[in-house]
Structure 1
Amino acid sequence: MKQSDAYTLSIGMLAVVDTWLTSTVLPIPVWVTFIAWASFFVLGGGTAGFLKSVASNLTGLVISSLTLLAIATTSNTAMAIALCVGIGSAAMVQASKIKLLDVLPAIVWGFASTVGTTVATGKAITTLAPSNPALVAAAALVIGAVFGFVSEWLGNALMFRRDVRLN
């Protein structure tokens, strides 16, 4: 089977599993798992892509969480929020100077996934419970990277190569 066909089958089947799990068993947003899954492939796949994706996405999550905490302690004016987001954005750029985190969009995906999860759940970043949006987003980001890793492995397993020998 060609790689594109093998990956089509692998990703398609696992997308069913991911969507079913996140709608029944795991209280995490499926769209965040898909973002992390894509991040895994964008960062090269394999063990290195997995580690780089998780590290980058979670770095964005931490910066986003700190930004949301700063916003929660401000006057909540548009200017105060804008300044907090600007500082968070600058922090993401600075973090991307680290070799493991050198793909800035992957950090931004973690940041945006955290903000989106906060909005989607209606829970404040200060929520002291397993439903804290940063914890929910972190779980989704890691699980998405795992789905990326497994889909790559399964896709590669589904490929076959013909051993052609010319005698």
Structure 2
Amino acid sequence: MKKTDALTVSIGVLAVVDTYVTAPVFPVPVWVTFIAWASFFVVGGGPRGFVQSVASNLTGLVIASLSLLAIANTGPAPLAAAICVGVGSAAMVQVSKQKLLNVLPAVVWGFASTVGTTVTTGKAITTASIQNPALVAAAALVTGAVFGIVSEAFGEALSHKPQPQLN
């Protein structure tokens, strides 16, 4: 099977699993797992891509969490919130100077996934429980990277041509 066809089957089947599992079994936002899954492929895939994607996404998550904490401590002033986001955005660009984090969109996706998870769950970044949006987003980001590496391996297995048997 051609590699793109093999990935089509692999990703299609695993997308069903991801969507089903993240609803009743492992309650994390499926859209965040898909973002992290795409991030895995964007940074190049393979074991190195897995590490780089997770590191980048989680770095964005940390920067977002710090930005949200700063916003929580400044009150509901729109200008203060905008400044906090601006500082966080500048921080993302600066960390992308590091080789492991040099794919800036992967860092931004971690930031955006964290902010989005905060908004959609309605939980503050200061929530002191397993429902903390940063913890939920982190779990989803790592899960998405796992789906990325598994889908790549499954696709490789499907596209692998069997070797002729010598008798």
* Aligned residue identity for 1:140: A
**1:162 CA displacement:** 6.8
- Look up the match of 2:123: 123
- Look up the match of 2:113: 113
**1:76 CA displacement:** 1.7
Matched residues in 2 for 1:66 and 1:83: separation? Answer: 13
Q: Tell me the TM-score normalized by structure 2.
A: 0.96
- Look up the match of 1:16: 16
Matched residues in 2 for 1:75 and 1:154: separation? Answer: 48
Runs of 4+ in 1 over 6 A off after TM superposition: none
Gaps of 5+ in 2: none
- Look up the match of 2:39: 39
Matched residues in 1 for 2:160 and 2:78: separation? Answer: 57
- Look up the match of 1:97: 97
- Look up the match of 1:76: 76
- Residue identity (%): 71
Q: Tell me the TM-score normalized by structure 1.
A: 0.96
**1:160 CA displacement:** 3.1
Secondary structure of 2:75's aligned partner: coil
Residue by residue over 1:18-70, the C-alpha shift from the partner in whole angstroms, topping out at 9 and shown as x without a partner, is: 00000110110000000000000000000000000000000000000000000
Aligned residues: 164
RMSD of aligned C-alpha atoms? 1.1
Matched residues in 1 for 2:53 and 2:162: separation? Answer: 33
Secondary structure of 2:62's aligned partner: helix
2:28 matches 1:3: no
Gaps of 5+ in 1: none
